[in-house]
Chain A
Amino acid sequence: MDKIKFATVWLAGCSGCHMSFLDLDEWLIELAQFVEVVYSPVGCDLKHYPDNVDVCLVEGGIANEDNLELILQVRRQTKILISFGDCAVTANVPAMRNMLGGAEPVLKRAYLELGDTSPQLPYAPGIVPELLDRVLPVHEVVPVDIYMPGCPPPADRIRATIEPLLHGEMPAMVGRDMIKFG
């Protein structure tokens, strides 16, 4: 049997969902027998998101131009895209900057008003990605196939979501164990 091409990406989130993924502990060894990890900040060292990915866990919302570019590429090159955790599903804590109304007031607040020494706005075109005006949940940018809420989703929920996919089935995202936010 061909191995499932599996990826995880980390957008505007704290990496807590990826840490929870690592909490799968010994089941990761079992998972490794079914999947080939083709892109992941915690699972391999490849730098380019490849073509024909079967399953991708997306942690984080869309907060800057890098996030936007990567999520569009992920959607084009992935069969099943999973919104992985509350930041991907709701934009969550990163989106609390949306209440300030746009990128400019956020940058001014963080780098000028709260800057202790030599306050200045970051400016490094091509190196530091520009903020989008608002942080968006993934499904407001590209279509999403499975939503896995949680901050972070507990390891059991991650396993219960991925395991059916290994056998060609879709998981049932219902009940407190699967869709509780927070």
Chain B
Amino acid sequence: MSVKTLKINGVDIAIEEGATVLQAARQAGVPIPTLCHLDGVHDVGACRLCLVEVSGTRKLLPACVTEVAEGMEVQTNTPKLQEYRRMTVELLFSEGNHVCSVCVANGNCELQDVAIQVGMDHSRFTYRFPDRAVDISHPQFGIDHNRCILCTRCVRVCDEIEGAHVWDVAQRGAACYIVSGLNQPWGEVDACTSCGKCVDACPTGAIFRKGSTTGEKERDRAKLDFLVTAREKHEWTR
């Protein structure tokens, strides 16, 4: 396997061919904020938080789906990127209905965390207040589309780790939303094994366990890591 050498923020890095810029940055200890990235499932570049600057191109590239190349020069935290990241988070907040104070994930939410990380003290974009649904037809879980940022982690974790493929994305643009089965109520989808991996994968309070109230959502992210390690490295103990 060949090795590629590149610079991230001026520091020389060597990593195997085919790795992503995000993997190279993580290996070098350079923090890049992410929301849709989830260890163990493939990357889609949905949230745009991991945008980086690469010499030779004027476009900003998402680090999670950009492969490393020989001689690449990457900047991860320029003022331009900081400004775009803050705008991205503000757009996520103003697009949906994110009311932290009454959310199951308050205090344990990756969207809330990145808002702090990018220094968002208010949104400069007008809130849309879209009319979105809540589906509590499943006996154990619920999905509140108001809190969904369309990261598609649930779609990928259900398809790639559980192998059930309950979730998909319907519609286009601002009208997009996550559907279960063939756009059926979640409780009527036979394919759902009630494994709860989507609850553990969801970065916000959009998918939750019934009965948990404000600030009570807990995730077992280690369970996902364990399953991926078990499958890829054949390590069966936790």
Contacts and interface: CB of A to CB of B under 8 A. Distances in A.
Interface of A: 83, 86, 89-93, 95-96, 98-99, 101, 134, 137, 139-140, 144, 147-149, 151, 173-176, 178-182
Contacts of A147: 121-122
Nearest to B120: A179
A175 B127 CA distance: 23
Interface string B29-72: 00000000000000000000000000000000000000000000
A91 B123 CA distance: 11
B120 A92 contact: no
Contacts of B127: 90-91, 95, 98, 137
Interface in B102-151: 102-103, 106-107, 112, 115-116, 119-123, 126-127, 129-132, 146
B112 A149 contact: no
Contacts, number: 67
Contact of B99 (A96, A139, A174): A96
Given A90-B123, A173-B121, A180-B112, 11 more contacts: A86-B101, A93-B101, A95-B99, A95-B129, A96-B97, A98-B129, A147-B121, A179-B120, A180-B116, A182-B103, A182-B112
A92 B130 CA distance: 14
Interface residues of B, number: 25
Contact of B100 (A83, A173, A182): A182
Nearest to A180: B116
A89 B122 contact: yes
Contacts of B101: 86, 92-93, 151, 181-182
- List the 5 shortest-distance A-B pairs measured between CB atoms, nearest first: A182-B100, A151-B101, A98-B129, A147-B121, A181-B100
Nearest to B93: A90
A141 B130 CA distance: 20
A127 B102 CA distance: 31
A99 B129 contact: yes
B122 A99 contact: no
Chain B contact surface mostly: loop
Contacts of A181: 100-101, 112, 115
Contacts of A137: 122-123, 127
Most B CB within 10 A of own CB, among A98, A101, A182: A182
Contacts of B106: 182
Contact of A93 (B99, B115, B120): B99
A180 B112 CA distance: 7
A86 B122 contact: no
Contacts of A89: 121-122
Interface in B196-216: 215
Contacts of B120: 179
Given A95-B127, A99-B131, A179 B97 contact: no
Contacts of B130: 99
Nearest to A151: B101
19 contacts: A86-B100, A89-B122, A90-B122, A92-B101, A95-B129, A96-B99, A98-B127, A99-B131, A139-B122, A144-B122, A147-B122, A149-B122, A176-B116, A179-B116, A179-B120, A180-B112, A180-B116, A182-B101, A182-B107
